[in-house]
Amino acid sequence: MRQLSPLVLAYIGDTVYDLYVRTYLVTGEQANAHALHQRSISFVCCRAQSRACLALLDSLTEEEQYIYKRGRNAHPSTIPKNADLTEYRTATGLEAVLGYLYLSGQMERLDSLMQNILNA
């Protein structure tokens, strides 16, 4: 896993994050698909992911911090026009950690981090 590109880890981590958010919303709210989508945006946007990551940094293991820094310091080919560069990089670091945990089968740890994010 350490040899995978941090942007590949972030690619998978983005999907994992989105799935957790959607599952959390569907199991906790009675709403139509459009309302659920609008609510999910508040969780998956770059700014929200960055804030969530900064709140978790002290609880990351040494290995997770290494993966986070690789993701944060990676140079993506494009950056969304409505995103702050620092927030975007921080969010990418978080996504890399989530992708790493998912691909390495560390589901309990992944669940724990996502529960901290979703219940914050």
Q: Which run of H or of E encompasses 42?
A: helix 33-44
pTM over 0.85: yes
Tokens of 42: 């508040």
Give SS3 for 120: coil
Catalytically annotated residue among 14, 58, 84, 111: 14
Model confidence pLDDT, tens digit, residues 93-105:
999 999 999 999 9
Using alpha carbons, select from 113, 77, 74 the residue that is nearest to residue 90: 74
* Contact between residue 90 and residue 49 where contact means Cβ atoms under 8 Å apart: yes
Model confidence pLDDT, tens digit, residues 24-50:
999 987 888 899 999 999 899 999 999
Which domains can be identified in the chain, with CATH numbers? Answer: 6-118 (1.10.1520.10)
Q: How far is CA 15 from the centre of its chain?
A: 8
Does 14 participate in catalysis according to the annotation?
yes
Q: In this predicted structure, what is the pLDDT of residue 52?
A: 93
